[in-house]
Amino acid sequence: MPVADHRCDGLVPSVADERLPIAMDVSFIDPDHGWALALGSYYGIAQTSVSCAWLGATSDGGATWEKLPDPRIFLSAEDEDGVSHLTFVDERHGFLWGNAFYTTSDGGKTWQRDRSVGKVAVLEVEGTNAWRASVDGGLEFSDDFGASWIPLTPPWRAGVKPTQLVRIDASRAFAVGSGAATSIAAISRTSDGGRTWEVVDLDAMLRSSSLNLTAGPDGKLWLLTGSVRSAGQQAKSVYGSGDLGSSWTLVADTRIPGNTQFNNLPGSGYANGIRVTAAGTLFMALGRGTLYVSMDSGATWRPSIPYQLANPADSGVSTPVFVDGLHGWDVTQPGIFRTDDGGLTWDLVKLPGAK
């Protein structure tokens, strides 16, 4: 039976918003099989509008979607039972997570609540091994699809909020966090599967209010930094590292007064995330902007999806998901964009019921 969670149990679907369902997150395990989490609006007895999770699955790379049984799970970043992300490990096992945490073992048809954890800030899967970081900085791993969790040494000191886990393999990983009392973000790394951590020494040029990290299959790291955001503008830089973060090379930046570097990144838009594919192609996702691409290791950048298509409401795009060098997906305000040529072209896909 589906999970029943207070306000989302037994409510009647709304027809008030013809855009619904609105995509929130996607997860793919190969070029064909994937899942989508979307917002669906429902009315309660007193006609009070609440938002509940809509789930769909695809077996053709996202060209078409089949609605899964209604999970009756609240979808909200503010609600204590809300979820905002999904991650699948294989065709049967996956997670819904955010302020609450759920697992499935039947491809998303039914979900079970895991009340052993509160708010989850980050979930990262490497093979069948999953790591999850709670908002308070705790870190756990599971190698049985979430049936049990074992604590790891937390890499985030008190007052630092987890923002990313980047896993290169079963032993090597990076943890990114931002401090509540300071605007400077920080990175730690482990080479023993999370048993011990060391802080990555970032020189003054790399210290920033936001850090977004990605790792290629060759282990090379790419780091997108961003200054304080202001009126749709933000100074941004991209660095590369071939020695697991011991040294960094600047490859792209936004020119600011007194800076005589590359000036090959747009000043408009906020740094949401960076992704490198198996082919070595770099993608930069911007809030209040669009998706940019570099096919020459960051030397030049151009819009990968036209701004007017990806961001008609000036909201921005998410960090794209790729399963190889060709097949990728990006969640935007209009819907899900998909590519099968490494980002040269993108097609917009609407979820069933959305207009």
Whether this prediction's pTM lies above 0.85 is answered by: yes
DSSP helix/strand/coil, 309: helix
Closest to 200 measured CA to CA, from 252, 155, 250, 135: 155
- The DSSP letter of residue 233 is B
Q: Which pLDDT tens digit goes with each residue over 305-354?
A: 999 999 888 888 999 999 999 999 999 989 999 999 999 999 999 888 75
Question: Per mean pLDDT, which of 31-45, 150-164, 327-341 is the most reliable?
Answer: 327-341
Closest to 12 measured CA to CA, from 44, 40, 37, 38: 44
Q: Which pLDDT tens digit goes with each residue over 196-242?
A: 999 898 876 666 778 999 999 999 999 999 888 888 889 899 999 99
pLDDT at 296: 96
Q: Which two tokens stand for residue 211?
A: 């850090």
pLDDT at 132: 97
pLDDT at 31 over 90: yes
pLDDT at 103: 96
Contact 260, 254 (CB under 8 A): no
pLDDT at 148 over 90: yes
Closest to 310 measured CA to CA, from 340, 294, 290, 339: 290
pLDDT at 247 over 70: yes
pLDDT at 231: 87
Q: Which two tokens stand for residue 243?
A: 């020695």
The C-alpha atoms of residue 201 and residue 151 are separated, in whole angstroms, by 26
- The DSSP letter of residue 193 is T
Query: What is the rounded average pLDDT for all residues in the chain?
Result: 87
Phi, psi of 300 (to 5 degrees): -130, 150
Identity of residue 48: T
Contact 322, 330 (CB under 8 A): no
pLDDT at 46 over 70: no
The structural domains of the chain, with segments of one domain joined by +, span: 90-349
Identity of residue 73: I
pLDDT at 183: 53
DSSP helix/strand/coil, 110: coil
Radius of gyration of the chain, Cα coordinates, nearest whole angstrom: 20
pLDDT at 10: 58
Quickly tell me which residue has 């020119």 as its tokens.
Answer: 255
Contact 82, 99 (CB under 8 A): yes
Q: Residue 172: which H helix or E strand, with range?
A: none
Kindly indicate the confidence band of residue 5, based on its pLDDT and cuts at 50, 70 and 90: very low
CATH for 90-349 is 2.120.10.30
